[in-house]
Amino acid sequence: MQTVLLIDDDVELVEMLKEYIEQENFSVQVAHDGIAGAQMLLEQPFDIVVLDVMMPRLNGIETLKAIRQHSNVPVIMLTAKGDNTDRIVGLELGADDYVPKPSSPRELVARIRAILRRVQPLETINANTQITVGALCIWPAQRLVEWDSQPVILTSTEYSLLEILAKNAGQIVSKQDLSQQALGRPLARFDRSIDVHLSSIRHKLGLLPDGRHCIQTVFRSGYQLLKS
């Protein structure tokens, strides 16, 4: 059974979400502040974390920073509806996705499932399968990435985006397709999630010999991973 850590100070909401998520065959543990949640992650592994932004003692942004110091566990942020600043900051710090509050438990579970499906390697992938594009090497079975023979640490969403671009190297992939395949949801209007994730990937990868980033923005079309 896959495990979910729910970190939110709203006791009534947490109990409602916990009950609903458990009915969907997940094991759920809860923490009502960021300090307790980060400590629980140090003590035991979880498959995914659902983290509220607005909390006492240690808010969600600071909690995410603490989590990313020692774990690459997938994280979904719960953000106030319309608060784009918290969403962008959370994504820049390594959140995999966000769900605006108030939201339905059904939507949250759908997002959880979408992310967990991505991070589980398909049994049909041969362990020796490798994608190579210039200095970039990807091993899909292990979800490992190297650039110029050096390991690159990516979040689950960053990895999924990079793998999609690598499989389509030299071709333009639309933001809508990237959102659908990597995030498991249609791209909403004014949603900058894909842009923020790809900006992070660019910084983690090296430059090409000519000084360009290997991931190029194609105006009004999408993104393209250059072949060399």
DSSP secondary structure letters along 65-119: HHHHTT----EEEEEETT-HHHHHHHHHTT--EEEEES--HHHHHHHHHHHHHHH
Q: How far apart are CA 84 and CA 158, in angstroms?
A: 20
The model's pLDDT over 129-150, given as tens digits with 9 standing for 90+, comes to: 899 999 999 999 889 999 999 9
What pTM was computed for the model?
A: 0.89
CA dihedral sign, ordered 143, 146, 150, 153: negative
CA distances from 144 to 129, 130, 155, 166, 213 (A): 11, 10, 11, 13, 20
**3-119: CATH number:** 3.40.50.2300
Q: What is the pLDDT of residue 132?
A: 95
Phi, psi of 16 (to 5 degrees): -65, -45
Task: Give the list of residues 6+ apart from residue 5 with CB closer than 8 angstroms, or none.
Answer: 28, 29, 30, 31, 37, 40, 41, 46, 48, 49, 50
* CATH 1.10.10.10-classified regions of the chain: 131-225
Q: What is the pLDDT of residue 124?
A: 53
Q: What is the pLDDT of residue 142?
A: 87
Range 115-154 burial, b when 16+ CB lie within 10 A, else e = bbebbeeeeeeeeeeeeebbbbbbbbeebebebeeeebeb
The count of C-alpha atoms lying within 13 angstroms of the C-alpha of 190, restricted to the half-sphere facing its C-beta, is 5
Q: What is the pLDDT of residue 101?
A: 86
Q: How far apart are CA 85 and CA 90, in angstroms?
A: 8
The model's pLDDT over 105-118, given as tens digits with 9 standing for 90+, comes to: 999 999 999 999 88
Question: Who wins on pLDDT, 14 or 121?
Answer: 14
Q: Of the candidates 158, 200, 165, which has an alpha carbon nearest to the alpha carbon of residue 183?
A: 158
* CATH 3.40.50.2300-classified regions of the chain: 3-119
> Domain 131-225: which topology?
Arc Repressor Mutant, subunit A (1.10.10)
Q: How far apart are CA 151 and CA 135, in angstroms?
A: 12
The model's pLDDT over 42-101, given as tens digits with 9 standing for 90+, comes to: 999 999 999 999 998 899 999 999 999 999 999 999 998 777 888 999 999 999 999 988
Average pLDDT, the chain: 91
Question: Who wins on pLDDT, 165 or 128?
Answer: 165
